[in-house]
Amino acid sequence: MLSRLIDLALPPRCPGCGGTVAGQGRFCAACWASLRFIGPPWCAGCNIPFDHYRGPDSRCAACLADPPVHGGVRAAVAYGPVARTVALRLKYGGRTAYADAAARLMLRHVPDAATLLIPVPLHRRRLWWRGYNQAALIATAIARLSDLPVDVRALERHRATPPLRNRSPRERRATVAGAFRVSDAGRAAVRGHAVVLVDDVHTSGATADACVRVLAAAGAASVTILAWARVLADDDD
């Protein structure tokens, strides 16, 4: 009853365009149709989508040449106009409820073997300035939907880094090198777990790879990356 009263006073809005929709966190028909959902067939190493089925263990050329350090990169949708709007409004616009909308579409990609959710952390100065970590909001929402535990403090960004936008892949890797660590308490929390590293947007993978390396060094059994949106080569803008 309370939920219905709230919806009457504040009609639910589409996360993509802001139009009125039937329920909280739902997309309008036009925005929904424009989302490019990611799923199999995809590379067994990095989950980059294939245009056709190539077999259960098929890998892309990049994974064959340089096997990834993680257990795959799973994302709900490809990065595009609507996905970008949701990510930016969540990240910079204070639309924290959009974390729930993203989490519901990401839930289907949580690995069956997952035992722990960990968000990509913000440096304390950026967290203080923004007031929240969008990745932590998404991870917490997924935890509610999946009943998996979430630890928002195990992984730390102890060194501030400049924005990675407009940097080359090599520059991105160099920028985030050594920026992350697992806290002392976090080592006991991650040891032996099948970790899902949660983020909002997966671009070059430099940040995620840096996180995966320190989680693996701390004893995580495996680390799979889960994002709301993933930048694909043919959609990179």
Answer yes or no: do 153 and 176 share one domain.
Answer: yes
The reported pLDDT for the residue numbered 72 is: 96
Q: How many CB atoms within 10 Å of residue 143?
A: 19
The reported pLDDT for the residue numbered 11 is: 82
Considering the domain boundaries, does residue 151 fall inside one? yes
The reported pLDDT for the residue numbered 7 is: 52
The reported pLDDT for the residue numbered 165 is: 79
Considering the domain boundaries, does residue 223 fall inside one? yes
Entry field: residues in the chain: 237
Answer yes or no: do 23 and 43 share one domain.
Answer: no
Max CA pair span of the chain = 57
Answer yes or no: do 9 and 51 share one domain.
Answer: no
Query: How many structural domains does the chain have?
Result: 2
What DSSP string runs through the chain?
Answer: -HHHHHHHHS--B-TTT--B-SSTTPPPHHHHHH--B--SSB-TTT-PBPSS---TT---HHHHHS--SSS-EEEEEE-SHHHHHHHHHHHHS--TTHHHHHHHHHGGGS-TT--EEEEPPPPHHHHHHHSS-HHHHHHHHHHHHH---B-SSSEEE-S-----TT--HHHHHHHHTT-EEE-HHHHHHHTT-EEEEEEEEESSSHHHHHHHHHHHHTT-SEEEEEEEEE--TTT--
The reported pLDDT for the residue numbered 9 is: 53
Answer yes or no: do 93 and 7 share one domain.
Answer: no
Q: How many CB atoms within 10 Å of residue 187?
A: 16
Answer yes or no: do 88 and 204 share one domain.
Answer: yes
Answer yes or no: do 50 and 106 share one domain.
Answer: yes
Considering the domain boundaries, does residue 235 fall inside one? no
Q: Scanning the structure block, which residue is given the tokens 């509610």?
A: 144
The reported pLDDT for the residue numbered 169 is: 78
Answer yes or no: do 44 and 21 share one domain.
Answer: no
Q: How many CB atoms within 10 Å of residue 47?
A: 26
User: With contact defined as beta carbons under 8 Å apart, do 222 and 74 qualify?
Assistant: no
Express as a percent the part of the chain with pLDDT over 70: 95
Answer yes or no: do 27 and 120 share one domain.
Answer: no
Answer yes or no: do 12 and 40 share one domain.
Answer: no
Answer yes or no: do 22 and 58 share one domain.
Answer: no
Q: What CATH number did the domain enclosing 80 receive? A: 3.40.50.2020
Considering the domain boundaries, does residue 237 fall inside one? no
Answer yes or no: do 42 and 140 share one domain.
Answer: yes
Write out pLDDT tens, residues 189-203.
999 999 999 999 999
Q: How many CB atoms within 10 Å of residue 18?
A: 13
pTM of the model: 0.91
> What does the alpha-carbon distance between residue 220 and residue 172 come to, in Å, rounded to a whole number?
24
**Domain extent at residue 17:** 1-34
Instruction: Provide the token pair at 132.
Output: 């929240």
The reported pLDDT for the residue numbered 164 is: 81
pLDDT (tens digit, 0 to 9) for every residue of the chain, 237 residues total? 555 554 545 788 999 999 998 888 899 999 999 999 999 999 999 999 999 998 888 999 999 999 999 999 999 999 999 999 999 999 999 999 999 999 999 999 999 999 999 999 999 999 999 999 999 999 999 999 999 999 999 999 999 887 787 788 788 889 899 999 999 999 999 999 999 999 999 998 999 999 999 999 999 999 999 999 999 976 544
